[in-house]
Structure 1
Amino acid sequence: MVRSLSFLQLFVILAVGYIGGVLLYRGIPDADFSFLVQLYDSRAAQNSSTSLLIQLASFLSFYVVAMILSLSKRTSWFVMLVGALKAVLFGLASAHILAGGVNMLAYSGWWFPFKLLGTFLVIVFCWTLSPPFFTRKTVKRSNNSKLPLMIVGVGLVLFFADKAAYNLLGG
């Protein structure tokens, strides 16, 4: 029951963050969110001229910030905030793409599935770094660093699969 409750909480964070990002985009129509959207994914801001290295750095920045925040007990409370921020940016970028009149086949076949999985991976990564209070070990043991590294590896595979699907669909 505890495991299913935790994954349910992760899906709630994802859904609330996504809806929050969409509402933020719709609630402030005069604001220019293109800079935030470009930080999330430059292709969503209709700027595909960004180099692969900058896109990779933008992708890895969420993992790095979460890892840095998890190193201290004082900042470990903010680790899940990184995952929630990624979900909000996912919703914001999604609303930006749809408002820009993107092809629905490209959106539903390429952008949305890859970004949904990528965002959920960041949330799971944050959860492994700073688990909820009811799943923490009571006995002091060393942290297992294999699972977070494996999640980052899966995220990198997903990142390059996203690039391949983007090029395949004529992006």
Structure 2
Amino acid sequence: MSITAAMPPAKERPRRPRTKRVSSLPAIKLSQLLPSHIDLRTPLKAVLVCEDCGTWVSITGMQSKVQKLVPHHAGKAYVDAARRCRSSNRRVEFDMTIPEWRLALTDAVKEASSRQSTAVLPKAFSPQTDRTLRARAERTPAGRLADWNAVLPRVADADKNRRAIPAGDAPTEGPAVPLDTLHPQPPTR
């Protein structure tokens, strides 16, 4: 899209919100949050999970005196109404250092991994299913061949009955029913 005289150029906007407002709610202390709800890997772009709306929100003013949550909306973008979260501009107190946060995060990961079950227990079978599976496992190739040979005469009888012409008059109208299997040949040139 090209810029025309009818469209004025966009005004340069500040990179960070620079509002002086601070929420009247008490400050969020990092030590009271779960270590997995804080991300301090890049300290100048720190983020945490908002206690009220549960969204990840960046912390502004990392190099100034007051650190606070960026103003944000509580609902999903383009789905819910644009409603400002009440924890917007809420102060954040850094009462733990980055190494302490990393240590707490590794402890939390170890604790969570120790809680997870490693053994997957199979679903119990019904007695009929158990008998069927055991019988299937005990069958040998010779046993399967004997079972197939026992069924073959009944299959041959069914095929013979299927090919037999029924007794009675032949249909008077319509084409004759072919009794032989048709094998189409490709056309010759």
TM-score calculated relative to the size of structure 1: 0.26
Greater share of helix: 1
Larger Cα-atom Rg: 2
Greater share of strand: 2
Higher RCO (CA < 8 A, seq sep 6+): 1
